[in-house]
Amino acid sequence: MAIELNGPALRHARALVREGEVVRDERDDWSEAAPTPDEENAFIERDGWTAYSHWHLGVDRDENSETKGAYSFPFGDFRRVHRSGVIAGESRAGQYDHTEIRDALRALLELIDGD
């Protein structure tokens, strides 16, 4: 499993933050804010796998791109970036030595907090 930074997702996240599409919640709020499996499935059904991938900063290119297992480090609810999701992802990326993803999430958090 080789998880890489998903460049299109990072560009999507930055654009959303610049547009003000951000929930400035706290770290512990992510467990409530994260999309449920049913919400993920409905989103995929409606918008497709490419759109789904744009909500995850991690991608495993060894996995089938039309499976949820290919994507990790979600940061939003399919409408807005959640500060809590960014914080949770940064922490998890750091734990598992995904430094490029950790650094991208840290920079995204700085962008959110700088507004």
Q: What is the 3-state secondary structure (H, E, C) of 3-57?
A: EEECHHHHHHHHHHHHCCCEECCCHHHHHHHCCCHHHHHHHHHHHCHHHHHCCEE
Q: Given this model, what pLDDT does residue 11 score?
A: 98
**Which pair of structure tokens corresponds to residue 34?**
């994260």
The burial of 33, by beta-carbon neighbours within 10 Å (0-12 exposed, 13-18 middle, 19 or more buried), is given as middle
Q: What domain count does the chain have?
A: 1
Q: Given this model, what pLDDT does residue 27 score?
A: 82
- Report residues of the chain scoring pLDDT below 70: 1, 115
Q: Given this model, what pLDDT does residue 19 score?
A: 97
The amino acid sitting at 91 is S
Q: Given this model, what pLDDT does residue 26 score?
A: 87
| pTM for this model (two decimals) | 0.94
